[in-house]
Every structure is written in structure tokens, then in C-alpha cells.
């Protein structure tokens, strides 16, 4: 049975949560652009970090809203403003800031094989990113 995880430190609403594929870790993002990584079994905080691309982000309405783990659980993607932040889960290091949207990123998802990351934005586009090279493969417009 999972009991309540206390998210001490969040200043804003928790907007997005995602389980790692193995179900052992939970990522929670809030309106203050903070991510907490939790170990589900021990209910202990594993990591805390801020996801600001530029210092003015915190004062704007455009903050981290969406988060997704890669299928192997090694990467975490977060949509912030018009960018996607890619982070290594084990080292907690920011690997890349993916830029390519003209509008606010509204969703992020990894492909089942882990080679592609998709990001959807308010500019009515979906960007497809090559995870290995961290380059944009295509833009789907709708």
C-alpha cells in the first residue's frame, strides 16, 4: 500500500507526475519548476532540482508542466516554456535543452524503443527528437 508522499519544498501546484518504467521512482513537477524524485518503497526523496532555462521563467506563467521517463528509466524529459529539458536520472545532470517550438510545450513522450522523444506544443506542432544525437528529426504540423 502506498501512503502519501510529503512534498516539502514545493511552492506551487504539482502539475505532472510520472513513474519510472520499473515503478521504483516517482518524478513530481510543480509550478515553481522544481522536480522531486522519490523512491517509492522507502518514500524517501532521491533528488531535488530546479528546471529554469532562463531566470525570468519563474516569474512567467510558462513553467515546467509535463514530465516523462524513457522506457529504460535512464532519462527524464520535461517540457518547459518552448523547450524540452533532457536529464540523466542517475547522475541528475542536465544533458540538453531541446529548442524548436514557437509555443509552449504541452506534452512529452518517449517512443517504446527509446530512440525518439516527441514533444507537443501550443504552436500546433509535434517535434520528433533523436534521443542519441539530441537533434530534431521532424516537425509534424496540425
User: Which helix (H) or strand (E) covers residue 106, if one does?
Assistant: strand 105-110
How does pLDDT run across 95-118, given as a tens digit for each residue?
999 999 999 898 999 999 999 999
Extract the C-alpha cell encoding 106. 504541452
Closest to 90 (Cα-Cα) out of 103, 71, 80, 75: 75
- Nearest in space to 136 (alpha carbons), one of 87, 88, 101, 94: 101
User: What value, to the nearest 5°, has the Cα angle with vertex 103 and ends 19 and 14?
Assistant: 35
pLDDT in tens, 39-85: 999 988 888 877 654 444 433 444 556 889 999 999 999 887 889 99
For 117, the grid coordinates are 522523444
CATH number for the domain whose boundaries are 14-141: 2.130.10.10
Confidence check: pLDDT of 3 > 60: no
Amino acid at each position: 500500500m502506498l501512503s502519501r508522499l510529503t512534498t516539502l519544498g514545493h511552492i506551487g501546484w504539482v502539475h505532472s507526475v510520472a513513474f519510472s518504467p520499473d515503478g521504483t521512482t516517482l518524478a513530481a513537477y510543480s509550478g515553481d519548476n522544481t522536480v522531486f524524485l522519490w523512491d517509492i518503497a522507502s518514500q524517501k526523496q532521491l533528488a531535488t532540482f530546479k528546471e529554469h532555462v532562463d531566470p525570468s521563467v519563474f516569474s512567467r506563467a510558462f513553467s515546467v508542466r509535463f514530465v516523462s521517463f524513457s522506457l529504460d528509466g535512464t532519462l527524464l524529459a520535461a517540457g518547459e516554456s518552448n523547450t524540452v529539458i533532457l536529464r540523466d536520472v542517475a547522475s541528475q545532470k542536465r544533458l540538453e535543452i531541446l529548442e524548436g517550438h514557437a509555443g509552449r510545450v504541452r506534452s512529452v513522450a518517449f517512443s517504446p524503443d527509446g530512440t525518439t522523444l516527441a514533444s507537443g506544443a501550443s504552436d500546433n506542432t509535434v517535434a520528433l527528437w533523436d534521443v542519441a544525437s539530441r537533434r530534431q528529426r521532424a516537425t509534424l504540423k496540425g
